[in-house]
Amino acid sequence: MSLNLNLLPMLDSNGFSHEVLKVRDYEVLEKIKKLPQMEIDDGFNSCLSRNDEYEEYHYGETVETPYGERLTWVLAKDLKEVGLQGCAGAFINAMSDRDRVAIYWC
């Protein structure tokens, strides 16, 4: 696990995220690590996909971090309790409590 975190809100039922919310508050990162997390399902897509065919990020299946660790997800309800600030906090607070957010450590 790395020191940088991207949150990938999943606002549709198809397992796709169009947004990338960067979190760099290290006190909050420690709280996020302790949240109940579930492994991401196969077929989750985002703009942070990387594979051997492309050298840069692109839209596609995103189930592992650059370090080969499986992505996880948390409920927006749980993220609201860790004290996110700024744009990421505003976005998460506007989400439904039942929405899922993928956790992408990089």
In sequence order, what DSSP letters do the residues of 11-48 get, joined into one string?
A: -STTSB----EEE--HHHHHHHHTS--EEPPTT-EEEE
pLDDT less than 70: residues of the chain: 1-2, 13-14, 52-54
Token pair in block for residue 81: 């309790």
Between β-strands 45-49 and 58-61, what pairing exists: parallel, antiparallel or unpaired?
Answer: antiparallel
Whether 79 and 32 have beta carbons less than 8 Å apart is answered as yes
pLDDT confidence of residue 52:
64
Count CB atoms within 10 A of the CB of residue 2: 12
Question: In terms of pTM, does the model score above 0.75?
Answer: yes
pLDDT confidence of residue 11:
82
* 42-56 b/e (C-beta count within 10 Å ≥ 16 → b): eebbbebbeeeeeee
Tell me the residue range of the domain where 45 lies.
5-105
Token pair in block for residue 63: 């189930």
Count the domains in the chain.
1
